[in-house]
């Protein structure tokens, strides 16, 4: 019988109001963890907190904009005040975009970096001493766009590349302390991220260019997050297509460029010509 390593662990999940973040918070709660859920929507967090506590687990909602450093600091402080420490940090909060670089307003790129990259940096900075002390885990929920540039998503790819560089360097700096750092790339998952993706002018896209019902479920991804932590995985690309892309990138990167171009061009209302 496998020992439940997550029981009574203190876990912070950012971007927990929907999608992968919500599913991951629920999965940790089912495994007996004490879960701190963070996002901008206080209403959605309150609903999730009720759902978790009703099922007998411990949870605390903390309204947080991860692009604001002080919010991230307060998130960690509130967690430590309530539960005494932090064992696992899931950096899941993120936004996407869909526009050509020549058309996009620079504020959109800054917003992507503020949320996807700096949000990870801020939360990690303040949680790090506790996680290192506990030999815990830091997880970055990323994308294949962080392994190879994705056309029409310059800001998204840049922010994920930056996240990767930051987390991989952190892993090396704390090698002797045996800090576990995992980057997980789920691939296309049914969530709100494409509906909320920013267009060239910064307005939300509104409709997803993908058939959401055919995409993998957030619950499936959440189970893999816990499995990856349990097995101390480094980088986990969840789709075969993503793994194949990562391999081909080293062998024939020009082919990957072309395939990505064709794939993104096929999307409805694609900005690619």
Question: Which residue numbers are catalytic?
Answer: 156
Q: What is the arrangement of strands in the sheet containing 235-237, beginning at the earlier edge strand?
A: 58-63, 34-39, 10-14, 88-91, 137-141, 180-185, 235-237
- Contact assessment for residue 162 and residue 119, using Cβ atoms and an 8 Å cutoff: no
- Contact assessment for residue 230 and residue 137, using Cβ atoms and an 8 Å cutoff: no
Residues 6+ apart with CB under 8 A from 165: none
- Contact assessment for residue 106 and residue 159, using Cβ atoms and an 8 Å cutoff: no
Give the chain's count of helices (H) and strands (E).
9, 7
From the CB of residue 55, how many other CB atoms can be counted at a distance below 10 Å? 11
Number of residues written out for the chain:
273
Distance CA 153, CA 151 (A): 5
Sign, CA torsion 205/156/239/244: positive
* Element containing residue 83 per DSSP (H, E): helix 69-83
Distance CA 159, CA 161 (A): 6
User: Can you say whether residue 94 is alpha, beta or left, with left for phi > 0 and alpha for psi between -120 and 50 degrees?
Assistant: beta
């Amino acid at each position: 019988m496998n020992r439940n390593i997550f029981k009574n662990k203190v876990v912070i999940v950012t971007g927990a109001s929907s999608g992968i973040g919500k599913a991951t918070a629920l999965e940790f709660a089912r495994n007996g963890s004490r879960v701190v859920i963070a996002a901008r929507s206080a209403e959605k967090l309150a609903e999730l907190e009720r759902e978790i506590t009703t099922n007998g687990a411990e949870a605390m909602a903390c309204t947080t904009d991860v692009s604001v450093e002080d919010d991230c600091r307060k998130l960690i402080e509130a967690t430590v005040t309530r539960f005494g420490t932090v064992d696992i940090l899931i950096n899941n909060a993120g936004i996407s975009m869909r526009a050509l670089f020549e058309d996009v307003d620079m504020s959109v790129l800054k917003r992507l970096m503020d949320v996807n990259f700096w949000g990870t940096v801020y939360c990690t900075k303040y949680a790090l001493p506790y996680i290192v002390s506990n030999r815990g885990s830091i997880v970055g929920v990323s994308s294949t766009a962080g392994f190879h540039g994705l056309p029409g998503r310059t800001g998204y790819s840049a922010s994920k590349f930056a996240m990767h560089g930051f987390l991989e360097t952190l892993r090396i700096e704390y090698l002797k302390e045996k800090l576990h750092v995992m980057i997980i790339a789920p691939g296309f998952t049914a969530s709100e991220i494409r509906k909320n993706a920013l267009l060239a002018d910064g307005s939300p896209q509104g409709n997803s260019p993908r058939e959401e019902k055919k995409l993998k479920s957030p619950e499936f991804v959440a189970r893999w997050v816990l499995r990856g932590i349990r097995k101390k995985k480094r980088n986990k690309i969840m789709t075969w297509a993503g793994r194949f892309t990562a391999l081909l990138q080293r062998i024939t990167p020009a082919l990957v460029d072309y395939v990505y171009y064709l794939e993104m061009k096929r999307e409805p209302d694609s900005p690619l010509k």
